[in-house]
Amino acid sequence: MANIRKVLKWSAIGAASGAATLALVGGIALAVIYPKVPDVSALSDYRPKLPLRIYSAEGTLIGEFGEERRKLTPIEAIPKVMKEAVLAVEDARFYQHSGVDSLGLVRAVLNNLRHGMSQGASTITQQVARNVYLSSERTLSRKVY
């Protein structure tokens, strides 16, 4: 009976130590990352890259120049079925998470380990943040920050 109490006591101490260590590491990680997190208020004035469009005197498009080939469309003008299709393909659990899909992350990690494939787990929220604030380079530091 005394041995069981010792095991339970040391198990509790070990669990508490592990939890404290995890909290400490998490706190340090947040302290390092938080100052680098950009202010989201800048999104209200977001201006995506648009191509330079050259028109003739009659208003005919002659050419487009630049990295991005896009035309801004207000969200109200996009049909509901198109929005639902994008969510189904890109982030099926969009309304069930708050920006990071933990289940999707675990699924992707397990699939990558089992099959050696690179499967993504980024949500639409994470893709927007990457496109607005980061580069598309595939490095660990970019994925962490």
Residue extents of the structural domains in the chain: 1-37, 38-144
Give the model's confidence band at 145: pLDDT under 50 very low, under 70 low, under 90 confident, else very high.
Answer: low
Radius of gyration of the chain (CA): 24
Enter the DSSP assignment of 38.
P
| pLDDT of res. 2 | 73
Structure tokens that stand for 62 in this block: 């002659």
pLDDT tens sequence across 91-142: 989 999 888 888 888 888 888 888 877 777 889 988 888 888 776 676 666 5
| Biggest CA-to-CA distance, the chain | 95
Structure tokens that stand for 66 in this block: 């630049």
Query: Rounded distance, CA 49 to CA 131, Å?
Result: 11
Helix (H) or strand (E) holding 55: strand 52-55
pLDDT tens sequence across 13-36: 999 999 999 999 988 988 887 777
